[in-house]
Amino acid sequence: MRLFVAVRLSPELRKALIQVQNAMRDHGVRGNFTPEENLHLTLAFIGDYPDEQAVLDALSTVRFTPFTLSLDGVGCFGDLWWAGVQESAPLAALARRVRRALAENGIPFDRKRFSPHITLIRKASRDAAGMAAAPVSMSVDAFSLMRSDRGRRGMIYTELGSVAAQPGGRGSAGEDV
């Protein structure tokens, strides 16, 4: 079972990202565009791991309070183009806490530095520089454990469970506990 931990995006954010993808298409960019329902921001990539419940138990120990996520410009890793988000200490803290909870429970994950991005297209045929998303924001009130399966027409992501933010108080966003 291939697993990852992600922030799922609001309909408004996804709509803004679809507009960026459409602008790319209008500029002649071809490739594997991420379908709207698959758009997400990964906090940690676990990969193949058999024990879904152990991961959910580990993630349930993570405490955070709601925070705002805002779209920013567009960038790339080679021919993969993504939408960035405005620098966010609470987001970085959430990723750190998720990764710490996994590590403390012996669950392996990709230790590459957290580099927040929302993949818009893989194998882009040409440069998609100069695009920008509308200045849309959302409140991050939860994060999710996702399973990734290869379907006939691309990847299928299924939410296995989610962890909700705490309403304010100790362990608040940005504070690393």
Q: Which residues bind ligand 2AM (CB under 6 A)?
A: 4, 42, 45, 110, 119, 148
Minimum distance from residue 110 beta carbon to ligand 2AM (Å): 4
- Given the complex with ligand 2AM, which of 58 and 120 has the nearer CB atom? 120
- Given the complex with ligand 2AM, which of 4 and 67 has the nearer CB atom? 4
Length of the chain: 177
14, 40, 97, 99: the active-site residue: 40
Q: What number of other Cβ atoms are within 10 A of residue 35's Cβ?
A: 14
Q: Which residue has the tokens 């500029």?
A: 27
Establish whether 40 is a catalytic residue: yes
Minimum distance from residue 157 beta carbon to ligand 2AM (Å): 8
Q: Which residue has the tokens 């108080």?
A: 169
Minimum distance from residue 167 beta carbon to ligand 2AM (Å): 28
Minimum distance from residue 111 beta carbon to ligand 2AM (Å): 10
Its sign, for the CA torsion 50, 56, 61, 66, is: positive
- Given the complex with ligand 2AM, which of 115 and 125 has the nearer CB atom? 115
CA distance 126 to 105: 42
- Given the complex with ligand 2AM, which of 46 and 173 has the nearer CB atom? 46
Find how far residue 1's CA is from the centre of its chain.
18
- Amino acid identity, position 123: K
Q: What number of other Cβ atoms are within 10 A of residue 145's Cβ?
A: 23
14, 97, 99, 117: the active-site residue: 117
Query: DSSP per residue over 68-87, as a string?
Result: EEEEEEEEEETTEEEEEE--
CA distance 5 to 101: 12
Catalytic residue positions?
A: 40, 117
